[in-house]
């Protein structure tokens, strides 16, 4: 009974992690669409500058056509992104029981407070508790088999009023039950012993795999935070500055249109990589939370 309860808790944890992971991909697709609109706004700025240059006689018609082609390409990509979003929304229906709405698109960056050292690990987890419960049940069956192969003694007392002599009316009886099939009893004990040994080994193996999974996901979370910090503190500010410089150079006549378009693409690429890191970090954290001990969850809450 206890093993079944713990296994149910573990399945609930796994389902929660799956929902969070699917939701992270749904969020990422929405973020890609938002970034697509931002990119289009950047290219529209280029179109405005190119049109002004054309009016002043320092631009060319081919540059204007090049900007329009880029806008058309972006519009085609938007159709693909919207199709991906619809597909992910359909995938979430079996997990959520409904189609996700725009109001549920707030995805926060995973916290580093969940990380803890190996020395802090305690096997207070449904997966481990279920394995321990199965081992305890196997040991209990072994104890029963050991008892069944031993003789059993019974004692009872009675009162027979038919005897004229009152001293003979009280009756005391002792019974002994000896198993007739010793081989069968020994076989049951050997079977129960083997089962208990197997359950003990499986419990040990489950705990080892649990610790290995925690170490792997913890490394993913730590690496994700490192990548996110670099993107936030270095890549994103540098690419924003590059875009602004490219736009100013194009407006002043010292820059090239193609360089400005590439800069807009690169800025979107950096933002999209950042969104991908957050998505993967959120997914890894969801899996990590499913594996951490119950006491740690209670302490964090």
pTM greater than the 0.75 cutoff:
no
- The answer, yes or no, to whether residue 20 has pLDDT greater than 60, is yes
Higher-pLDDT residue of 116 and 63 is 63
pLDDT at position 72 is 92
pLDDT at position 166 is 65
pLDDT at position 240 is 93
pLDDT at position 80 is 93
Instruction: Name the β-bridge partners of 171.
Output: 158
pLDDT at position 88 is 83
List the structure tokens of 244. Answer: 């602004």
d(Cα 51, Cα 61) in Å, to the nearest integer? 9
d(Cα 126, Cα 293) in Å, to the nearest integer? 8
pLDDT at position 60 is 80
- The answer, yes or no, to whether residue 50 has pLDDT greater than 80, is yes
Tens digit of each residue's pLDDT (9 = 90 or more) over 149-204: 566 666 666 666 666 666 666 666 665 565 655 566 666 666 667 666 666 766 77
Instruction: Name the β-bridge partners of 156.
Output: 173
Percent of the chain with pLDDT over 70: 59
pLDDT at position 300 is 41
- The answer, yes or no, to whether residue 48 has pLDDT greater than 80, is yes
- The answer, yes or no, to whether residue 7 has pLDDT greater than 80, is no
- The answer, yes or no, to whether residue 109 has pLDDT greater than 60, is no
pLDDT at position 41 is 92
Percent of the chain with pLDDT over 90: 19
170-177 and 152-159 beta bridge pairing? antiparallel
pLDDT at position 287 is 82
Q: Hey, what domains does the chain have and what are their CATH numbers?
A: 1-131+209-298 (1.20.1600.10)
- The answer, yes or no, to whether residue 90 has pLDDT greater than 80, is yes
Please, what is the average pLDDT of the chain?
Answer: 75
- Going by pLDDT thresholds of 50, 70 and 90, the confidence category of residue 35 is very high
- Per mean pLDDT, which of 91-95, 105-109, 218-222, 296-300 is the most reliable? 218-222
Tens digit of each residue's pLDDT (9 = 90 or more) over 116-159: 544 444 555 555 566 566 666 666 666 666 666 566 666 666 66
Higher-pLDDT residue of 123 and 22 is 22
């Amino acid at each position: 009974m206890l093993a079944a309860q713990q296994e149910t808790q573990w399945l609930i944890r796994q389902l929660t992690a799956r929902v969070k992971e699917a939701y992270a991909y749904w969020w990422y697709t929405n973020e890609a669409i938002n970034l697509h609109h931002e990119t289009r706004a950047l290219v529209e700025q280029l179109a405005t500058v190119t049109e002004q240059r054309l009016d002043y006689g320092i631009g060319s018609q081919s540059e204007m056509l090049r900007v329009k082609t880029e806008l058309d390409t972006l519009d085609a990509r938007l159709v693909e992104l919207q199709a991906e979003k619809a597909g992910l929304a359909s995938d979430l229906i079996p997990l959520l029981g409904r189609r996700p709405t725009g109001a549920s698109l707030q995805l926060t960056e995973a916290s580093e407070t969940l990380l803890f050292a190996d020395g802090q690990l305690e096997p207070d987890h449904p997966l481990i508790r279920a394995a321990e419960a199965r081992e305890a049940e196997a040991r209990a069956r072994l104890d029963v088999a050991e008892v069944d192969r031993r003789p059993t003694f019974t004692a009872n007392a009675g009162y027979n009023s038919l005897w004229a002599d009152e001293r003979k009316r009280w009756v005391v009886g002792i019974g002994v039950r000896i198993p007739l099939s010793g081989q069968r009893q020994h076989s049951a004990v050997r079977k129960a012993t083997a089962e208990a040994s197997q359950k003990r080994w499986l419990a040990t193996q489950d705990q080892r795999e649990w610790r290995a999974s925690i170490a792997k996901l913890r490394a993913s979370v730590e690496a994700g935070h490192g990548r996110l910090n670099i993107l936030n503190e270095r890549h994103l500010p540098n690419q924003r500055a590059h875009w602004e410089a490219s736009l100013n150079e194009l407006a002043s006549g010292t820059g090239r249109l193609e360089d400005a378009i590439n800069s807009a693409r690169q800025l979107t690429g950096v933002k999209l990589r950042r969104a991908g890191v957050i998505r993967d970090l959120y997914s890894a954290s969801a899996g990590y939370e499913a594996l951490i001990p119950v006491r740690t969850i209670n302490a964090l809450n």
